[in-house]
Chains A and B, each alone.
Chain A
Amino acid sequence: MNDHSSLTIKGIGAAPGIAIGKAYLLERGRIHVPRYRLSGDAAVADECRRFEEAVAKAESDLEAIKKSIRSEFREHARLLEVQLMILRDPAIYDESLRYIKKERSNAELAVIKSLRKARELFSGLNDEYARSRIADVNAAGDRVIRILAGQSHANLGDIRERAIIIAHDLSPADAIQLQVGRTLGIVTEIGGSTSHTSIVARSLSIPAVVGAEAAARLISMGDILIVDGGTGTIIINPSERDLRFYYERQEELEAYVKQITRHAHLPAETRDGHRVGAEANIEVVEEVVAAKDNGAEAIGLYRTEFFFMNRVEFPDEEALYRDYRDLSELMAPCPVTIRTLDLGAEKLTSWFPRLEETNPALGLRSIRLCLHYKELFKNQLRAILRASAIAGNIRLMLPMVSGVGEIFQTKRILKEVQTELSRKRIPFDQNMPFGAMIEVPSAVAVADLLAPEVDFFSIGTNDLIQYTIGIDRSNEHVAYLYEPLHPGVLRFIKQAVDAGHEAGIPVALCGEMAGEPMYVPILLGLKIDSFSMNPVSLPRVKNLIRRSSMKECCRFANKVLRMRTAQEVNQSVRKMVMRKFPEEFRVFEPNHHGNAAVPAQQPVGTQK
C-alpha cells in the first residue's frame, strides 16, 4: 500500500462515534517465524538459554498482566494462571528443549513443534470444554514465540499512545485490558453488532467497527485511520479533505451528543403527548451508572448470561442473589427486568454437560434448557425471588418462549420455589411481574393465548428476525437477508403488540431495533409501549421520540405495513427520518452527503 492512496473499507458499525488516529495492530498468528537448524553444540546450548529466557520473560509478562487486571475480571486472572503453568508444562517446556537438543531446531520452531503435538492431543478429545482449552495452550505458546521472534506480544495494556486498535478479534482477555483513555477506536475483522467486542465498545463509548474483513491485512501499524462506528466505514490513510470533513463531523457529533445527553432525563413523550418507556439493556451491574446517566427509566433487559459464562464454575445461588440484589437496590424504585438464563448448551462452560447438537440455534437452549435442567433453573429463580423482596422492583422475563406450555411449566417450577421459600420463611415479592419474550414465530402465532398468562411481553427482535426469515446473521452467506424491516418481521411485531394490548398488557421491544434511531417512527407507529436498548443509544432515541408525533407515526406505520419488500420499507423509513430529523443524518452518517457511496443500513441487503 502506498502512502498517498487512501482506501475505504466497510464493516459493521458496532459502536457509534468517529475516531481519527493512528492504527495499532494487535496482530496475532501472522508473524514471520524464522525456522532453521542449529549447527554445533555451542549453538544448541545458546538456543536452550534463549528459549529459557523467553519463557521467563513470558512468565513475567503474564504476571504483570495478572496484576493489572481490573477487579471485576478476577476470573480471567485465574485463567492466566493456567497459561503460566502451561509454559512450564513438560509437554511444552521439556518437549521444546528436546527439539532444540535432539533435532537442532531453533527455539521458535521447537515451540511450534511442541505446540503442534499438544494440539493433536487436544483435538482427539471428545469433550468440547476440554477441547476448547487448547486456546490456553495456543495463547501461551504464541507469547513465547513472539518473544523469541523479537516481537513483543502486543498487550493492550502496553499501548502508550492514543490509538485505534486493529485486531482479528478481541478476546474477553483483551477486552479487560482496554485502556479507555488510550483507545480511540476499535476495528475487528470478525464479529457482529452483538458480539462481545461490540458490547464492550458500546458500554465504554468507544467507536467501533466489527466484521471488517481483511482489516488487519490492509492496515499497517501507524497508518492514519478514520473509523466511523456509526456507518461502519474505515478510511485508511485518508486525504486532507477526508480528514477535514471527519474532524468537523466529529466535533459536530460530540456537540450533538452532549446536547441530547443533557436532555436525556426528560420523559420519552411524543409532541402529541404519547408516553412510552425508555429502558436500558445491560449485562453487568456496573452498567447501571451509564443507564441512569443516559436517562433509562428502568432496566428493560438484564442479561444474566454474562454472570454464568464469565466464571469457570457454576455460580452459586448466593452469588446470583447478591448480584440481583445489588442491581435491584441501585435501580430502585425503577423496575428491573431480569431475563432468566438465555444460553445454548454450547455456551455454558466447564460445569455443564456437553450435548452433541448439529444445530444449536434450534437446540436445547434458553427456557428449554432451563426447564430441562430444573435444578439450574430453580437455583436462578430462587436467587431472583429472594432479591425481589428487597425493593419489590424486579420483573421476571422468560426468553425464547415458544408456546403456552412453557409458561405453565415455568409457573409450576416458580410455585415450587415460592413454596419452598415460604416454608423457610424467606421473603419474596408475591406480585413479581412475569413476562415472556417474543422471539420465536410460534410465540407470535399464539400471542393471543400467551398474553392472558403473563404480565408483559418483550419482543426480542434479534432472534425474532433470524427465526422468522430463517437465517443466521453471523453466516456471511446469508447475512444480507438479515432485514429488520422485512414485512414479515413488521407484521409479527404488530401482531404481538396487538395481542398484548388486546389482553391489556404492555409490550416492550428489547432487540437492537429499539436502539436504532432510524426505527423510532415505525416502532412508535406499531405502538410499542417501551423501548429497551443499550444505554448509549438512549439519548438519541429519546430525543427522536420527543420530537415525533404519534399521529404521524401511526399513519406512517400503516403505510409501511402495506409495502412488499424490505427495500421499499427501508427507503421509506430513511426518507421519513431524513425529512423529520435531518441532523441525525448529518451528524451520524456524514458520508451520506459527502464522498463515498455508502450503503444505507448496516446489514446491506441490496439484492432484489
Chain B
Amino acid sequence: MLIDPQFLYRRKTALESSAAESPALVQEFVVANRLGIHARVAAQIVRVAGRFESEILITKCGIAVSGKSILDLMTLICPHGSKILISAKGPDAAEALNALAALFQAKFGEP
C-alpha cells in the first residue's frame, strides 16, 4: 500500500513519543467483518476507547494512530483481514483492551 511520506511521519512520531515510556498491554487483532474498519466501525471503536483513561494506540503495518480519534482510524485503512495491534497504557489498560477485544470478537455487530 502506498502511503504519503508525510502521513507516515506523523504516525511515527505518535508511536515514538509513547514508546519511550513504561510498557503497555498489547494484543493482536484481525479485522474480521467483511467491510473492514469503515467510518461507522471506526466510530464504534472511538466510542469504546473514549470511555477509558488509558492511552490507546492502534498499529497497522508499523503505523500507529490514536484509538480515540475517528479521523486517525478513518485514515488508517483496515480492510477485512488486516492484522492490527492495539496497545493500551494507563490505569485502566486491561479493561480497555478487554472492551475493545469484545468489539473485535463481535465483528462490530456486522457480517
Contacts and interface: CB of A to CB of B under 8 A. Distances in A.
Interface in A340-366: 350-351
A90 B77 contact: no
A125 interface: yes
Interface string A110-140: 0000000010111011110110010011000
B71 A312 contact: no
Contacts of A272: none
B69 A90 contact: yes
A63 interface: no
A534 B54 CA distance: 56
A130 B111 contact: no
B75 A130 contact: yes
Contacts of B38: 129, 312-313, 350-351
B69 A91 contact: yes
Interface string B60-103: 00000010111110110100000000000000000000000000
A130 B3 CA distance: 13
Nearest to A313: B35
B73 to A, nearest CB: 10
Given A120-B6, A314-B34, A350 B71 contact: no
Size bracket of the B interface: 20 to 34
A552 interface: no
A122 B75 contact: yes
Nearest to A79: B39
Contacts of B71: 86, 89, 91-92, 118, 121, 137
Interface centre among B1, B35, B71, B77 (most CB of A within 10 A): B71
Interface centre among B47, B70, B110 (most CB of A within 10 A): B70
B4 interface: yes
Contacts of A350: 35-36, 38-39
Given A86-B70, A313-B34, A124 B3 contact: yes
A516 interface: no
B49 to A, nearest CB: 11
B3 to A, nearest CB: 7
A124 B74 contact: no
Contacts of B111: 313-314, 316
A130 B110 CA distance: 19
B18 to A, nearest CB: 14
Interface string B26-69: 00000000111011101100110000000000000000001011
A82 interface: yes
Interface residues of A, number: 29
B1 A126 contact: yes
B89 to A, nearest CB: 17
A81 B43 contact: yes
A78 interface: yes
A85 interface: yes
Interface in B1-38: 1-4, 6-7, 10, 34-36, 38
Contacts of A136: 39
B13 to A, nearest CB: 14
Contacts of B35: 312-314, 350-351
Given A82-B39, A85-B43, A121 B7 contact: yes
B109 to A, nearest CB: 10
A504 B23 CA distance: 77
Interface in A116-174: 118, 120-122, 124-127, 129-130, 133, 136-137
Contacts of B3: 124, 126
Contacts of A79: 39-40
Interface string A570-598: 00000000000000000000000000000
Interface in A245-302: none
A85 B46 contact: yes
Given A81-B40, A82-B39, A126-B2, A121 B75 contact: yes
Given A78-B40, A81-B43, A82-B43, A89 B69 contact: yes
A312 B39 contact: yes
A346 B34 CA distance: 18
A579 to B, nearest CB: 57
Nearest to A349: B38
A125 B34 contact: no
Contacts of A312: 35, 38-40
A121 B6 CA distance: 8
Contacts of B42: 82
Interface of A: 78-79, 81-82, 85-86, 89-92, 118, 120-122, 124-127, 129-130, 133, 136-137, 312-314, 316, 350-351
8 contacts: A79-B39, A85-B70, A92-B71, A118-B71, A121-B75, A125-B7, A313-B111, A350-B36
Given A82-B40, A89-B71, A350-B39, 14 more contacts: A78-B43, A82-B42, A82-B43, A85-B46, A85-B70, A86-B71, A89-B70, A92-B71, A125-B75, A130-B74, A313-B110, A314-B35, A314-B111, A350-B35
